[in-house]
Amino acid sequence: MTDKTVSILLIEDNPGDRRLIQEMLAEAANVTFNVQYAERLEAGLECLGQNGAEVILLDLGLPDSQGLETLRAVHDRASEMPIVVLTGLNDEMVGVRAINEGAQDYLIKGQVDTQLLRRTIRYAIERKQAEERERRLQMQLSLSNRLASLGLMVEGIAHEINNPLASVIGVSQILTGEDVPEPVRDDAKTISDNAQRVADIMSNLLAFARQHRLERAYVNVNDVVMAALEVRARPLDGGNITITTRIDPALPSTMADANLLQQAFLNLIINAETEMKLANGKGNLVITTELVEETIHVSFADDGPGIARANLAHLFDPFFSTRGVGQGRGLGLSVCYGIVTDHRGRINVTSQPGQGSVFTVELPVVAQEDRAAAS
C-alpha cells in the first residue's frame, strides 16, 4: 500500500530541534512527511506564498520574531492552514493563548515523542478541516437566509418601479422621433437609454427574486458544460481567452434542470473571462468535470488576478462587485449560487491575489432508480 504523503512547513531556527523533529517524522509508519524548513519568519512566510502546506509547525522564538506575534503573522498569511505551535516554555498558559490566537495545538519541546508528534499533526489537520466545513455550512446558511429575505423585498420594489419607469421610457422614445431641436432629441435619447438600463436591472432583479420550479430531467453534466461553451464560443474566441476542457467521459448522469445549470455555468465562464480581460487582456480557463467521492465536480480555473481574502466571504452576496461602475451589477454569482443550491449542490471558490481563481460546483449524483424521488 502506498504511504500517504503529508506536506509540512517547519519554521524553526534551532538545528538540533529541526533534526530531532525530522528523525521523529521519519520513524512514522504508513505516512511520508514532506518537510520544508525555514529558519526565520520572513522565509517561512515566503514559503507559504510559494507552496503552501497541509500543516505548519511553528517555533514562537525566531531571530526575526518573538512570541505570539510570530503566530499572528503566520495566521494572518495562512488562516486556512492548521498551525501547531512549538514552545520551549513549559507553560500551559502559553499554549492556551496560542490556541486562542488561532493555533490548532501546541507542543512543548523536550516532551515530544514520535507518536505524540504524529497524532498532534493528524488531529490538527482533521480539526482544521472540520472547522472549514462548519464555516462553509454557516456561510451557506447565512447567505441562503439573506437571499430569501432579499428576494421578497426586491420583488415588491421592482413592481413599484416598473410602472413609472415604463412611462419614462415611452415618452423619451416618442421625443427622439419628434421634430424637436437636436439637443432636445439627444437629451431624450440619453434619458431613454438610461431608463432602459434601469429596466434591464429590474428585469434581472425579478429573475433573481422569483423562485422557479426546477424542470428536472436525467442529464449528463458534460453535455450541459459543452452547451454553455457553445453559447459563449464567439466572445471567448475574440477575447484572447484560451479554454481547455478536461471532461470525464465516465461522469455519471444526474437529475437536474439543464437550462438553469447551463445558465450557472455560463455565468461562471463569463465572470472568469471578464476578470482575465480586465486584468491582462487575455487569459486561460480550464474547465474540469470529475467524480469526487460520489459527487459531480465541475471546476472553472482561471489565471486571472485572483480574489482578495476579504472579498471571498461576499462573492455570492447580491450586488457585491469589485469592478468599476458599469462593469458589473453583482448578480451573476448570486444567481449561480441560487441555482446550484436549488439542485442540492454547493459552490466553492479558492483564490489568492495574483494566482487566479477556481470556482467549483458540486452536484449530487442521482441514480436511475432515484429519479422519481428527485423529481
The CA-atom distances, in angstroms, between 135 and each of 26, 141, 313, 319 are 34, 10, 10, 22
Q: Does residue 179 surpass a pLDDT of 50?
A: yes
Cell numbers given for 16: 538540533
The more confidently predicted of residues 94 and 147 is 94
Average pLDDT over every residue of 116-143: 78
Residue pLDDT, tens place only, 8-42 = 999 999 889 889 988 888 887 778 888 888 999 99
- CATH entry, 4-112, from 3.40.50.10240, 3.40.50.2300, 3.40.50.720, 3.90.1150.10: 3.40.50.2300
Q: Does residue 65 surpass a pLDDT of 60?
A: yes
Of all residues in the chain, the percent with pLDDT exceeding 70 is 79
Residue pLDDT, tens place only, 67-78 = 889 999 988 888
Q: Whose CA is closest to 58, among 120, 127, 134?
A: 120
Q: Does residue 164 surpass a pLDDT of 50?
A: yes
Average pLDDT over every residue of 188-203: 80
Cell numbers given for 276: 482575465
Average pLDDT over every residue of 153-178: 75
Q: What are phi and psi of 109, to 5 degrees?
A: -60, 140
Q: Cell 458540486 sits at which residue?
A: 362
The CA-atom distances, in angstroms, between 320 and each of 324, 329, 333 are 11, 8, 9
> Mean pLDDT over all residues of the chain?
81
The more confidently predicted of residues 374 and 173 is 173
Cell numbers given for 345: 449542490
Q: Whose CA is closest to 35, among 69, 71, 9?
A: 9
Average pLDDT over every residue of 211-226: 83
Length of the chain in residues, anyone?
375
Amino acid at the residue 134: E
Q: Does residue 325 surpass a pLDDT of 50?
A: no
Provide the pLDDT for residue 310.
Answer: 75
pLDDT category at 216 given cuts 50, 70, 90 is confident
Q: What are phi and psi of 298, to 5 degrees?
A: -125, 115
Whole-model pTM over 0.85: no
Provide the pLDDT for residue 188.
Answer: 83
Q: Does residue 140 surpass a pLDDT of 80?
A: no
Q: Are 283 and 303 in contact (CB under 8 A)?
A: yes
Q: Does residue 1 surpass a pLDDT of 50?
A: no
pLDDT category at 326 given cuts 50, 70, 90 is very low
User: What SS3 state is found at 368?
Assistant: helix
User: What SS3 state is found at 90?
Assistant: coil
pLDDT category at 167 given cuts 50, 70, 90 is confident
pLDDT category at 321 given cuts 50, 70, 90 is low
Provide the pLDDT for residue 300.
Answer: 96
Give the number of other Cβ atoms within 10 Å of residue 235's Cβ.
Answer: 14
Q: Are 39 and 70 in contact (CB under 8 A)?
A: no
User: What SS3 state is found at 151?
Assistant: helix
Query: What's 361's DSSP letter?
Result: E
Provide the pLDDT for residue 277.
Answer: 87
Lowest mean pLDDT among 34-38, 98-102, 249-253, 308-312: 308-312
The more confidently predicted of residues 158 and 220 is 220
Start-end of H helices in the chain: 15-26, 41-50, 68-77, 92-100, 114-177, 182-209, 221-231, 233-237, 258-280, 309-312, 332-342, 371-374
Give the number of other Cβ atoms within 10 Å of residue 158's Cβ.
Answer: 20
Q: Does residue 155 surpass a pLDDT of 90?
A: no
Provide the pLDDT for residue 182.
Answer: 79
Provide the pLDDT for residue 223.
Answer: 95
Q: Are 81 and 128 in contact (CB under 8 A)?
A: yes
Q: Which architecture, in CATH terms, is 217-374?
A: 2-Layer Sandwich (3.30)
Which residues have C-beta within 8 Å of that of residue 110, sequence separation ≥ 6? 88
Separation between Cα atoms, residue 270 and residue 234, nearest integer Å: 12
Separation between Cα atoms, residue 98 and residue 70, nearest integer Å: 10
